[in-house]
Amino acid sequence: MTETLGSTSADTATTTTTTTEAHDDEPFLVVEDLTVKFPTHDGLVHAVSDLTYSVKLGDTLGIVGESGSGKSVSSMAVLGLHDMRSTRMTGSIRVNGDEIIGTKNDDMRKIRGNEVAMIFQDPLSSMHPFFRIGDQLIEAYRIHNRGASKKQARARALDMLDKVGIPQPSRRIDDYPHQFSGGMRQRAMIAMALINDPRLLIADEPTTALDVTVQAQILDLIQELQREFGSAVIMITHDLGVIAEIADETLVMYAGRCVEKGPTKEVLTHPVMPYTWGLLGSIADVTSDTSKPLIPIPGTPPSLLQPPSGCAFHPRCTFTDRVEGDRCTTELPDLVPGPQGASHLKRCHLEDPESIYEVELKEVVFG
């Protein structure tokens, strides 16, 4: 039994190395000009427009945005989870060099759960309530490892549950999801996602339903496992606190588009786009000055059925008067390098956002 176990892991190891060698000039995940539209009774929903990003192995990309900003839709596209009969998708998504868009479902299954895995927000609704935790893990393993016996798969499942910190895994493996607490369910789901050693892990609001102490544990766990397996991680969240802790690079989404992208530290300390300013101004921290009121973004997020003309943020932006003419309302700004160079992109017409932020906002937002 040990022999077969050894050989399967060796097999996967060899395939891994060959595929990496073939595409080592390209990041593991490349998304180019991704546009996703859903036809509905009310019209066409422009969920994601012209989204471009890439993630290297070992790196963590944080995608931050409000509900309806397209952050989940874009990551579901990476897993090929959209029903192509009712979705209009253009652009290119390459996982390890292989194009995802247009791939048949059967072929997609080989990538899904094996190369790319996902952790969802609500572990109760994303696990099957009728099946034992262990059986669900075993199924996930055996689908991608046809040769593995039930015994081997169970050993592997136990190993994973232990790795994610479930106490007494041999006793808990035969529990049903409802017998686990929220934090333990999330751990079990991470175990399920990582059981096939995926090289890209997409975590969609993995800690939103959890308490802060559990959230801290889960974030630590994801980082530990990432270090161990060297995988790439996409962290999707609305919580800048999570982004600040875990992401190397941050992409801010608004109304389906990337509006700012750069190294996390840069984006959080020298943001160059009014929406990011607004996000930073609207959150309280455990150390912020309580005598100052929060600075909310006025208005509400736009409808993606009819996104606003020009810059989608212009109806809520308080800086449109700093831009010549009516460019904000008529002309969609390009995603261009900001004042700090090509690594930090912005989608905004403002000429000198850095000085506006440093002079007028930094005190208020960061004080």
Partner 1 sequence: MTQEVVSNGTPLMEVTDLVKHFPVKSSGVIRRVVGQVQAVDGISFQLEKGQALGLVGESGCGKTTAGRVLCRLYEPTSGSMKFEGDEIGHLSNKEMLPYRREIQMIFQDPYSSLNPRHTVGTIVGTPMHVHNTVPKNTVLQRVQELLETVGLNPEHYNRYPNEFSGGQRQRIGIARALALQPKLIIADEPVSALDVSIQAQVINLMQDLQREFDIAFLFIAHDLAIVRHFCPKIAVMYLGKIVEMGDRDQIYLTPHHPYTQALLSAAPDVRHAAIGGRRERIRLEGDVPSPINPPSGCRFRTRCWKAQDICAAEEPPLLQVGGRQVACHFAEPLQVIVAPPTGDGPTVGKPAAVEARGATSTAQANGGGPLG
Contacts of 331 (CB under 8 A, 6+ apart): 310, 311, 349
CA nearest neighbour of 333 among 49, 12, 39, 89? 49
Instruction: Kindly tell me which residue out of 116, 280, 335, 350 binds partner 1, with binding defined by CB under 8 A.
Output: 280
Nearer CB in complex with partner 1: 66/139: 66
User: Considering the rule CB under 8 A, would residue 306 count as an interface residue with partner 1?
Assistant: no
Single residue of 265, 326, 352, 360 touching partner 1 by CB under 8 A: 265
Distance (Å, whole) CA 310 – CA 293: 31
> CB 182 → partner 1: shortest distance, Å?
7
CA distance 343 to 53: 12
* Least distance (Å) between residue 365 CB and partner 1: 9
Enumerate residues 6+ apart whose C-beta is below 8 A from 1.
149, 151, 152
183 near partner 1, rule: CB under 8 A: yes
By CB under 8 A, tell whether 240 contacts partner 1: yes
1 lines the binding site for partner 1 (CB under 8 A): no
| 307 is an interface residue for partner 1 by CB under 8 A | no
The span of 101-109, 177-185, 329-337, 340-348 binding partner 1 (CB under 8 A) equals 177-185
Binding mask 283-302 for partner 1 (x = CB under 8 A): xxxxxxxx--xxxxxx-xx-
From candidates 184, 203, 259, 348, binder to partner 1 by CB under 8 A: 184
Angle (nearest 5°) at CA 132 between 126 and 135: 95
Question: Which one of 114, 145, 196, 215 is in contact with partner 1 (CB under 8 A)?
Answer: 215
Q: Which of 32, 107, 220, 334 binds partner 1 (CB under 8 A)?
A: 220
Two tokens, residue 104:
């048949």
Q: Which of the ranges 26-34, 54-62, 85-93, 175-183 carries the binding residues for partner 1, by CB under 8 A?
A: 175-183
Among 75, 145, 217, 226, binds partner 1 (CB under 8 A): 217
**Which x/- pattern over 149-168 shows residues binding partner 1 (rule: CB under 8 A)?**
------------------x-
User: Looking at 281, 307, 315, 339, which residue binds partner 1 (CB under 8 A)?
Assistant: 281
Size of the site for partner 1 (CB under 8 A): 50
Pairing status of strand 257-263 against strand 249-254: antiparallel
d(CA 61, CA 283): 21
Which of the residues 312 through 351 are near partner 1 (CB under 8 A)?
A: none
Question: Which of the ranges 6-14, 84-92, 95-103, 211-219 carries the binding residues for partner 1, by CB under 8 A?
Answer: 211-219
CA distance 254 to 50: 12
| Per CB under 8 A, 352 contacts partner 1 | no
Q: Does position 239 bind partner 1 by CB under 8 A?
A: yes
Nearest to 77, CA basis, from 102, 44, 110, 55: 102
311 binds partner 1 per the rule CB under 8 A: no
Under the binding rule (CB under 8 A), the answer on residue 282 touching partner 1 is yes
Nearer to partner 1, 62 or 80 (CB): 62
- In the complex, what is the shortest distance from the CB of residue 120 to partner 1, in angstroms, rounded to a whole number? 18
Query: What tokens does 352 get?
Result: 């000198």
- For partner 1, the binding residues (CB under 8 A) are 66-67, 167, 181-184, 211-217, 220, 238-245, 264-265, 268-269, 278-290, 293-298, 300-301, 366-367
